[in-house]
Amino acid sequence: MIVLKTERDLEAMRPACVLAGTVLDEVAAWIKPGQTTREVDEFAGSRIKAHGAKSAFLGYRQYPCQICISVNDQVVHGLAGPRRLEFGDIVSLDVGVVHNGFIGDTARTVAVGGCDLAAQRLMDVTEKSLHEGIAQAVPGKRVVDISRAIQKYVEANGFSVVREFVGHGVGRNMHEEPQIPNFDDGKSGTKLRPGMTLAIEPMVNAGRSAVKILKDGWTVVTVDGSLSAHFEHTVLVTEGLPEIMTWPARVSLK
């Protein structure tokens, strides 16, 4: 069952989404070489709290951290710990907050200090593929149009999309229907309708698409050790153009 959001729902959900985007901005601006991922997670937790929200991840299926921090060949769901970030690393930050009873879910990959051109190209292509997908989030199109647009753009640029993890509807729950694969799975015929709120989130590998989960039970890595990037927005399907709900506030909220 797909939950269509009413205008009243959206009034509550919009601030949750802006907050998630703002925290993501704050963490991205804060990280530097030498910090441990645990310090980054603590900073993220303190910003979420400062905005009066809560992490949507902490405790979700016993997930132990405030946000997901995935470094280099880590794809998603990386756990914070003693690892120190180094100049040239790329870090995928995934922020989910609960506020007003609704969830905002958004992710971005950033360089720590700087990175080489190959890593920058991977991040650029992944971000652009997200926007190719978002552009399809209009009434009359189907979920598969989002999936195809992402896959086409990524593969035309020589990279591969991860298949085991997908985007999703989002609202009062983090993972609602429909699933939104980043490739054409031959299903996903669901028609897009105004009021749908979708977390669209391409996960893109520089090498092969295969991934595996580490023994910690969470961290997803590329099997071939290649770099991976992840960009995500929570998007509202409207009568007109898609509304990117997790765009950060342009000024500090607090």
Binding stretches for ligand MF3 (CB under 6 A) = 57, 60-61, 63, 68, 77, 94, 96, 105, 199, 201, 232
Of the two residues 14 and 156, which places its CB atom closer to Co ion in the complex?
A: 14
Of the two residues 41 and 232, which places its CB atom closer to ligand MF3 in the complex?
A: 232
SS3 198: strand
Beta bridge partners of 168: 179, 199
Of the two residues 94 and 145, which places its CB atom closer to ligand MF3 in the complex?
A: 94
Of the two residues 55 and 151, which places its CB atom closer to ligand MF3 in the complex?
A: 55
- Applying CB under 5 A, among 56, 65, 199, 245 the residue interacting with Co ion is 199
> Could you say whether residue 71 binds Co ion (CB under 5 A)?
no
Backbone angles phi, psi at 171, to 5 degrees: -175, -120
> Could you say whether residue 65 binds Co ion (CB under 5 A)?
no
- Applying CB under 5 A, among 26, 89, 94, 176 the residue interacting with Co ion is 94
Nearest to ligand MF3 by Cβ — which residue? 57
**Beta-strand runs (E) in the chain:** 54-55, 68-71, 74-76, 90-99, 102-111, 160-161, 167-169, 176-180, 197-200, 203-205, 211-213, 220-222, 228-230, 233-236, 243-244
Cβ 94 to ligand MF3, closest distance in Å? Answer: 5
**Beta-strand runs (E) in 21-89:** 54-55, 68-71, 74-76
Give the number of other CB atoms < 10 A from CB of residue 164. 14
* 170-184 b/e (C-beta count within 10 Å ≥ 16 → b): bbeebebebbbbbbe
The entry of ligand MF3, Co ion, none that residue 132 binds, CB within 5 to 8 Å by partner kind: none
Of the two residues 34 and 174, which places its CB atom closer to Co ion in the complex?
A: 174
**Which residues here bind Co ion, judged by CB under 5 A?**
94, 105, 107, 199, 201, 232
